[in-house]
Amino acid sequence: MSQYQIITDACADLPVKLVEELGVHVIPMSFNFGEESYTHYPDEREYTAKDFFDRLRNGDMSTTNQINQAEFTDVFESYLQNGVDVLYIGFSSALSGTYHNSVMVAEELCKKYPEQTLLVADSLTATLGTGLLVYAAVQKQREGMTIQELYQWVQNERLLVSGWFTVDDLHFLKRGGRLSGTAALVGTMLGIKPILRITEDGKLVPMEKVRGRKQSLHILLEHMEKTFRDTGDQVVFIVHGDCPDDAAYLKKEIKSRYHIKRIVTNNIGPIIGSHTGPGAIAIFYIGKGRN
């Protein structure tokens, strides 16, 4: 079996300790506050999630950048030219052009390195949903799957990764075009909290609305209960926009309801956080599908 490296991007929001445990390569991504540009790494060496969300709370707005083709080329070639095959598992193509850039680069590098294998897979999910798929892929790699087998496994299993979100600040959904200005204004006045999910085609869409933060967290747990597969060895990922108390509440509830092998929590990084805002929170797990 040939050696191969699993690569993902900073949108996977994997905690740095888990990145080290898994041995995956995470491609950093950049974001901006006005003319100031920063790079997001798993170890937060340039900017912490806490500082990032504090700036959003203070009214600053951030923008994000795709991983460009030159960046993909540099990372992929660093392995291919040393005889190491590459499997990249990327952020949903429905939410960013980053995956498309990886496809374009892969087409060229496969011609340049015909004896090596470079495969790119669309996770059709985001943040720790991509992280959960990467986590599961590493387990399969360690069990002995070849790169071709693992690529096919990702294609077949990715829609079993279920993700449910709620957000605290409707302004960010309005900014992203998922909510009208009027709906955001009225919803804020009434304390409305939308419930969103990742769809079969990798989009983040609103599904329902509830009153109040606590109720929105209860609804996340209700949706999980309907679609969760309690196999006894599940790993659940919780990601949050600097609201650790809410994440701890969800973790406690999930542990009390199911036979969970492991629960991983982390902050939403600046790339996703720019679009979901402070107070966003999501649960990811292996479910029964996204129908």
Domain with CATH 3.30.1180.10 in the chain: 160-286
**Whether pLDDT at 184 is above 50:** no
What pLDDT sits at residue 84? 98
Model confidence over 23-66: pLDDT tens digits? Answer: 999 999 999 999 999 999 999 999 999 999 999 999 999 999 99
Question: Confidence band (pLDDT; 50, 70, 90) for 172?
Answer: low
Model confidence over 72-119: pLDDT tens digits? Answer: 999 999 999 999 999 999 999 999 999 999 999 999 999 999 999 999
Triad 197, 41, 286: Cα angle to 5°:
30
Residues comprising the chain, all counted: 291
pTM of the predicted model, to two decimals?
0.94
| Residue 38 in tokens | 């920063």
Question: Confidence band (pLDDT; 50, 70, 90) for 176?
Answer: low
In angstroms, the CA 163 to CA 253 distance is 17
What pLDDT sits at residue 116? 98
Domain with CATH 3.40.50.10170 in the chain: 4-158
Grouping H, G, I as helix, E, B as strand and the rest as coil, residue 156 is helix
Q: Specify whether domain 160-286 bears CATH 3.30.1180.10.
A: yes
**Whether pLDDT at 207 is above 80:** yes
What pLDDT sits at residue 173? 63
What pLDDT sits at residue 204? 87
| Residue 177 in tokens | 């075009």
> What pairs with residue 119 in β-bridges?
87
In angstroms, the CA 36 to CA 40 distance is 13
Domain at 4-158: CATH code? 3.40.50.10170
